[in-house]
Amino acid sequence: MGRGSYALARVAVIVRAPAAWLWWPGLLSAAVGALIPGLTGRRIGLLAGAALFLIVAGAVFLARRGRYRELARGASRAGRSVFLQDRRVTVRNWRRARRWWLLIAFLAAVGSSFAVPAAAGLALAGAGAGLWAKALWFGGLERNSESLLWVRTEWAQGSPVAKPVSGYLATGLAAGDALPGGARRRGRGPGRAAGGDAAVSAAR
């Protein structure tokens, strides 16, 4: 990328990226599991699944929010030499890195329905719902600070609050192609830099 340049990915997009990929496979595996009587029976399986959905969604939503707040409060202004990674690129990279784990989780959820119908699938969907809610919550932090929060891509391979992440960088609300909370920005495309990324200087 050149001397002094590096790529940034939106924190909210990283948080939001897994939501749909857990929600829809979770619901699908739960629907398939509901067709299987299982050892416990469908009624018990669905009741257990509903409880797991709420527990998992709540746990995922609440997990490490203090760390997110800490990093958000300490965010520094992004320089003009950085590149903003497109939302679709961030989502695609996340999916490619974890596609086999998603497939294994889906098959495991379906397989577990022979014991407890639909329960694991609803737990998987709960994780997706919790991440979606957390992305919306993080979007609230961005709106309150009137800035979008980014993290260096090489720091956040696993999580935007992983140990290697020493801080976030901030841009104006108009930067990039995603709204606060990570949703797709409609109506315009950002300016482009090398490799299809948007330059901070084009959208500050």
- pLDDT tens per residue, the chain (204 residues)? 344 578 999 999 999 999 999 999 999 999 999 998 888 889 999 999 999 999 999 999 999 999 999 999 999 999 888 999 999 999 999 999 899 999 999 999 999 999 999 999 999 999 999 999 999 999 999 999 999 999 999 888 778 998 889 999 999 999 999 999 999 988 645 444 433 444 444 344
Beta-sheet strands, E only, within 11-160: 76-77, 83-84, 148-152
Amino acid at 134: K
pTM of structure: 0.86
Angle between helices 119-145 and 87-112 (to 10 degrees): 160
User: How many residues comprise the chain?
Assistant: 204
Strands 83-84 and 76-77: unpaired
**H or E segment at 66?**
helix 65-73
